[in-house]
Amino acid sequence: MSHVRKRYYLKTPGKIIVAGAIVLIIYLIFHREITGLGRLLFGGKTYTNADFDIPDYISSRDTDGDGIDDQSDILAGAREYVSKRPVYESKYYSGGWPDDNCGVCTDVVANALRAAGYDLKELVSEDIAAAPGEYDDDCGDDNIDFRRVRNLLTYFKRHALSLTTDFSEIAEWQGGDIVVFKGHIGIVSDKRNRHGVPLLIHHGGSNGEGSRSRPDYEEDVLDLRNDISGHFRVG
């Protein structure tokens, strides 16, 4: 008894689609550093301050007294937090701090600063009490106030060093800085793209309101955004 192997062939439209997809993928891989979609999908080669003759910024402060300067602690704290691959989910916690590996964009910043000895829950609460007119009227719950982008923007405007929002001034951007967008916030990476623009350590969708866990929390997306509202340095 003979067996006749049945072969399946793609029809012409299918072949064109598959070939087109392959060409597009190859193009994006080889041009990933100059195309926004390629950078998002495949990342790109990264650079450091040394590649652009930019001196590393070392803070003169060591708030938690661990022998490591604040700026370095903040950067390491951000990486430590996202290394646990938190799940993007916006929930209320009775203690304020998420304790189930879920979180939102503000939790990256709160945990990064916590690693340097800054308790944003306490600091934001104290500042709202000291200057309630500077914050929105719906503030007043310590457990959530420090997890809202708009409150952190107000707090950093009042208490942190405000720096340029021009991405072309690459020497003014350092790992451990804080960057705020419309509805989103993150920590500046010490890795840079081919133009010297740093990567962003963050959690959330590209519009800041993501609802899924990201496969990569450190991305070359900073200069793809046009809604920056603040660049700050705490350390």
Binding stretches for Ca ion (CB under 5 A)? 62, 64, 66, 68, 73
**Alpha carbon distance 24, 233 (integer Å):** 40
User: What minimum distance in Å lies between the beta carbon of 113 and Ca ion?
Assistant: 11
CB count within 10 Å of CB 132 equals 12
Closest CB to Ca ion among residues 128, 178: 178
Bridge partners (DSSP) of residue 187 are: 178, 201
Closest CB to Ca ion among residues 190, 219: 190
User: What minimum distance in Å lies between the beta carbon of 127 and Ca ion?
Assistant: 22
The two counts, helices (H) then strands (E), for the chain are 7, 8
CB count within 10 Å of CB 50 equals 9
**Alpha carbon distance 110, 81 (integer Å):** 10
Closest CB to Ca ion among residues 159, 212: 159
User: What minimum distance in Å lies between the beta carbon of 137 and Ca ion?
Assistant: 36
Closest CB to Ca ion among residues 54, 76: 76
User: What minimum distance in Å lies between the beta carbon of 66 and Ca ion?
Assistant: 4
**Alpha carbon distance 112, 29 (integer Å):** 32
